[in-house]
Amino acid sequence: MNKIRYNLVRKKLLLSCVVLIAGLVLAVNALWSYFLSPTSNKAERSVFVISQGESLSSIAQRLEKNGFIRNSLVFKLYLRLHNQEKNIQSGDFKLIRSFSMEELVGELTHGVLDKWVRIVEGLRKEEIAIILEKELGISQKDFLSLAQEGYMFPDTYLLPVDASALDIVDILKDNFDAKFDSQLENQIPQSGLTKDQIVTLASIVEREARDNEQREIIAGILLKRLAEGMPLETDATVQYALGYDAKNNTWWRKNITREDLESDSPYNTRKFAGLPPGPICNPGLSAIKAVLNPKSTPYWFYAHDDQGKAYYGVTLEEHNQNVANYLR
């Protein structure tokens, strides 16, 4: 009798456990479904921008704060369960609060309207064309036919994914015009150069210098040499003239030969005095400002070691000694 009663109690306990577990499963499932459901039934679209390099936690918190998701932790857990943590894109999105979690994640991984594209200082337009083709599918040929060397301002841009080559060129040039503001324009007359000449010299300074201090000193040296009718003798202009180095997959050949230095290209400032015909890259604001505000020094020569450290010389003899001491 006791054994029968024990079995009945055991069955009741087991049944209670099953019912409890089933209830918990249903409750968790209902709660999970709630957190994955849309936060609103309104179909109005709102712009949501994800910055380049923004952390997933920051994105999740902002999505919750702006009412696109119910809970940031659930959002991150959903991404992990669906292996989408690394697939969230940076850029500009038009989201609606009636998106389910699945629809929202689909938008954030595939529905970008604008994309962050970084263009660093000192690239020639061919290098920018490669970046734009990779990031936005812009034809290199189309971009190069429109881009003006020196005026494709280096910056981090939020660019429309459906932009044309002309759209991109206009955006980059407009940014140049905005950065080369009236304060800089007012400094042009005292420089003794035209605006185009300033940009050309700034492009050389951008490639020749490694930091702001070097930019100001090197700009001062090149301006003195220019005023005296001396060749600028910069390697960067020779590199530009040489073009693409297929062997080393670079537009800036590192090893320049004596034969290269004898090139008849007008960009060869080792051979010809004065400025080259135009810019050799697209300089940043610091290089432009260095040309307009050069540092006055007694130096006429400079050279860099393998680490980018600059060594300056007042005389040719001092310069040759620097080359012998630090570049060989």
What's the predicted TM-score (pTM) here? Answer: 0.78
CA distances from 72 to 51, 66, 69 (A): 18, 11, 7
pLDDT at 208: 95
Give the Cα separation of 271 and 114 in Å (integer): 46
Superfamily in which the 45-112 domain is placed by CATH: Endolytic murein transglycosylase (3.30.1490.480)
Give the Cα separation of 300 and 222 in Å (integer): 8
Environment class of residue 98 by beta-carbon count within 10 Å: exposed (0-12), middle (13-18) or buried (19+)?
Answer: middle
pLDDT at 293: 96
**pLDDT tens track, the chain, 328 positions:** 566 665 666 666 676 666 667 666 666 677 778 888 888 888 888 889 998 889 999 999 999 999 998 999 999 999 999 999 889 988 888 899 999 989 899 989 887 788 899 999 999 999 999 999 999 999 999 999 999 999 999 999 999 988 999 999 999 999 999 999 999 999 999 999 999 999 999 999 999 999 999 999 999 999 999 999 999 999 999 999 999 999 999 999 988 898 988 889 999 999 999 999 999 999 999 999 999 999 999 999 999 988 889 999 999 999 999 888 887 6
**What's the full length of the chain, in residues?**
328
pLDDT at 20: 67
CA distances from 307 to 118, 145, 250, 324, 326 (A): 25, 36, 19, 16, 10
Yes or no: say if 69 and 101 are a contact pair by the CB < 8 Å rule: yes
pLDDT at 274: 94
**94: which strand partners?**
47
- For residue 203 the two structure tokens come to 């492009």
Residue 303's identity, in one-letter code, is: A
Question: Taking the domains of the chain in order of start, what are their residue ranges?
Answer: 45-112, 115-179, 183-297
Residue 129's identity, in one-letter code, is: A
Yes or no: say if 146 and 165 are a contact pair by the CB < 8 Å rule: yes
